[in-house]
Amino acid sequence: MNPADLCSYADVFAACRQRIAPYIHCTPVMCSRQIDELAGAMLSMKCENFQRMGAFKMRGAVNALLQLTPEQQQRGVVTHSSGNFAQALALAASSVGTRATIVMPRDAPEVKKNAVRGYGGTIVECEPIVEARQAATDRIVAETGATFIHPSDDLQVILGQGTAVAELLEQTPELDCVVTPVGGGGLVAGAAIAAALHARAMGRPCPVYGGEPANVDDAFRSLKEGSIQENPPGANTIADGLKTYLGDVNFPIIQQGVRRIITVSEDQIVSAMRQIWQFMKLVVEPSAAVALAAVFADPETFAGKRVGLVLSGGNVDLDSLPFAKR
């Protein structure tokens, strides 16, 4: 595949959609008159908070697993993640009949570990540093023959995540553009492929924008610099699923197919999240609100437009909500 020609993915993308369909929900697209009035645009929001295990990550996990040979499936898979991809790979593995080992930092929240176990995953704990994470993963691959699946920098994962946007564009074909949150880059790269194929089919452009927390603006800087940038140690955001950075597989796709990254403040994220909860009655996680926050942060780009947004997930800790009174 040539990353410079996103339409060259048409066949593998179509195969991916067909392959994962039995394992995922086609989630609804919802609108809010009140949010549209505030945004001055017509927003169509793809409710991946209703996806299995509560986030779009299920799509990519399933697709990656279904691409393995029977021998590979028998030996299982391994990933490192303390977020939604951990749960997604665990549930996907149970669903397709293989097993997943998840390397998680020792200090990951108990609620996330329990969720992984609840979906049938095996947890291996490591020290909360990148080197320990990699060492533990390498050891499991060496000892068990498990296949490593990267949470976002894997073409099959990218294609799987892109199916969320392909569905959105089928459910609302008249969209002028699409906005997704950007973390590790899997979703926004998949969105770029889906939008390029849609644009070709419709005969008009459908640009893709990424929303990213200003606190961890590595993707914004990566596009500007033309090379993958990381975040300074300790950089933090309430949208904790977006702290990761781009990779060699998704970066060229993003360079080719993402028009711009829009950065948003922590306050803008919480405010957008609150609007989704209040007006749409949807439980979404902070990362999911980043796309809406980007629309509010850049009114000139979106005014009067029909904008598709991916509400990426709904796995939020109800015991520590940002808008609860203390």
Catalytic residue among 44, 81, 82, 287: 82
Query: Three-class SS of residue 159?
Result: helix
Beta-carbon contacts of 320 under 8 Å, excluding residues fewer than 6 positions away, are: none
Which CB sits closer to a second copy, 15 or 111? 111
Stretch that binds a second copy, among 11-19, 152-160, 272-280, 289-297 (CB under 8 A): 272-280
120 binds a second copy (CB under 8 A): no
Cα(273)–Cα(263) distance, rounded to whole angstroms? 16
57 is catalytic: yes
Q: How many degrees, rounded to 5, is the angle at CA 270 between CA 219 and CA 289?
A: 55
Q: Which is nearer to a second copy, 2 or 278 (CB)?
A: 278
Residue 132 neighbours by CB distance under 10 Å:
16
Measuring CA to CA, which residue among 298, 299, 291 is closest to residue 275?
A: 291
Q: Could you confirm whether 44 is annotated as catalytic?
A: no
181 binds a second copy per the rule CB under 8 A: no
Minimum CB distance to a second copy smaller for 162 or for 314: 314
Binding segment for a second copy among 49-57, 78-86, 177-185, 250-258 (CB under 8 A)? 49-57
Token digits of residue 131: 């080197």
Residue 219 contacts residue 213 (beta carbons within 8 Å): no
Label residue 305 exposed, middle or buried (CB < 10 Å: 0-12, 13-18, 19+).
middle
Closest to a second copy by CB, 55 or 261: 55
* Residue of the chain from 274, 298, 305, 306 that contacts a second copy (CB under 8 A): 274
Binding mask 13-32 for a second copy (x = CB under 8 A): ---------------x-x--
DSSP-assigned letter for residue 324: S
Determine, following the binding rule CB under 8 A, whether residue 126 of this chain makes contact with a second copy: no
Give the residue among 110, 46, 108, 118 at the shortest CA–CA distance from 88: 118
Q: Which is nearer to a second copy, 39 or 246 (CB)?
A: 39
| Interface region with a second copy, contact rule CB under 8 A, candidates 57-65, 147-155, 166-174, 281-289 | 281-289
Residue 143 makes contact with a second copy by CB under 8 A: no
Pairing of strands 258-264, 306-311: unpaired
Catalytic residue among 32, 44, 46, 57: 57
Q: Which of 9, 50, 245, 251 binds a second copy (CB under 8 A)?
A: 50
Between 18 and 278, CB nearer to a second copy: 278
User: What is the Cα–Cα distance from 308 to 159, expressed in whole angstroms?
Assistant: 18
DSSP conformational letter for 320: G
Chain mean position to CA 299 = 24
**Paired tokens of 226:** 């033309």
Using CB under 8 A, list all residues that contact a second copy.
Answer: 28, 30, 49-50, 54, 274, 277-278, 281-284, 314, 318-321, 323-326
> What amino acid positions are annotated as catalytic residues?
57, 82
